[in-house]
Amino acid sequence: MHLNNTDCNTSHFRYPLFTSTYSIVLLFGFPLNSVSLWILLCRNGLKKSVPVIYMANLALSDLLFIISLPFRIIYFATGRWTLGNALCMIPGTLFAVNIYSSSLFITLISVDRMLAVVYPIRSRPLRTAPVAWALSMTVWLLIAGLAVPTAFNHPQNEDTDCNVTRCFEKYTPDEWKQGFIILCCTTFFGILVPFGIILGCTVAVVRQLRSYSKTSSCDAELSKSKIVNLFLSNLLIYAICFIPFHIAFILLGLSKTEILPGEKSLDFYFNLQTVTMCMASTNSCLDPLIYYFSSKRIQGRSRCDSSSKSIGLGLVQSTSWTGQ
């Protein structure tokens, strides 16, 4: 959703900004996620590895969003929509699908790694492929339920002032009110709650790692770094992509529904939302960081000190592609 704009040209900075941002995300995101998904499916399989199941679903979510980007690029490059109402609703819906499914799958990855590190034995019954598939299907069902109202809230609009058809902008006050309600609900359940869970998992893992002896094996030290980088990459995605966008979007929604008065404030929130929406779109390029920190195998095990082998082995198993 975007602010109504009576200017009929495409001089506003959002048009070239969106065009260039989506082009860059398409250029880098498609090969990164395609290769990641190929590695996950062909080299690791989905039968036993819980992390691979979650990461494959995350890559699929990113690819669904990325393949819709050409439609956005065409619109923001030309400033007019000519592809019909259905193709207008799909890209807007896939953006929301990607944001919230990514948030939930990143949360599942974080919880799985936390259980593997903090409760490696007690959590084994929960960290199985059937449980992972059940949770993944639950996420997709929730996202499908969100997609229906989101799609109907993103139709094409006739801009009578400029005599063109618009998409991704110029929504009516009723559409804004309905969209704002959806936004508040999805922000709380799809962003704030998952972020709190990831933050709690990060604290629990850091405490557990600090409890290990300072005299540890090479495996343990490398695995500790790998685990920390995984959680930092999760928090980085939230800090760059999810949190700023939702703060700006809620402020814009409050202004559009006249809860926050002021025309100048409305313009500022609109511009802020434009920038943060571009930031949110980059999450599909940052997600491969999660694949990297979750997949790169620890090398040089034979060179490590055997005195701390049990600690090192436990940490290595907690971050392995194929380990449960």
Contact between 233 and 271 (Cβ < 8 Å): no
CA distances from 13 to 10, 16, 68, 148, 270 (A): 8, 6, 22, 31, 11
Angle at the Cα of 109 (from 106 to 37), degrees rounded to 5? 80
The SS3 of residue 66 is helix
Q: Which of 256, 254, 252, 260 is nearest to 277 (CA)?
A: 252
What would the 3-class secondary structure string for 262-280 be?
CHHHHHHHHHHHHHHHHHH
Contact between 252 and 270 (Cβ < 8 Å): yes
Each of the 324 residues of the chain gets a pLDDT tens digit; together they read: 344 444 666 778 999 999 999 999 999 999 999 998 888 888 766 667 888 899 999 999 999 999 999 999 999 998 889 898 888 899 989 999 999 999 999 999 999 999 988 998 998 998 999 999 999 999 999 999 988 888 887 888 887 778 888 888 777 777 777 778 888 999 999 999 999 999 999 999 988 888 765 545 555 555 677 788 888 889 999 999 999 999 999 998 888 877 777 666 788 988 999 999 999 999 999 888 787 766 654 333 333 433 334 444 445 445 444 445
Residue 95 backbone phi and psi in degrees, to 5: -65, -50
Hey, how many other C-beta atoms are within 10 angstroms of the C-beta on 60?
A: 17
Give the amino acid at 170: K
- The C-alpha atoms of residue 96 and residue 146 are separated, in whole angstroms, by 8
- The C-alpha atoms of residue 44 and residue 49 are separated, in whole angstroms, by 8
Contact between 108 and 54 (Cβ < 8 Å): yes
The SS3 of residue 163 is coil
Give the amino acid at 221: E
pTM reported for the whole predicted model: 0.85
Domains for the chain: give ranges and CATH numbers.
14-157+176-296+309-319 (1.20.1070.10)
Give the amino acid at 63: L
Residue 258 backbone phi and psi in degrees, to 5: 65, 20
CA distances from 101 to 94, 205, 232 (A): 10, 24, 19
Residue 157 backbone phi and psi in degrees, to 5: -130, 140
Q: What pairs with residue 114 in β-bridges?
A: none
Residue 125 backbone phi and psi in degrees, to 5: -65, -25
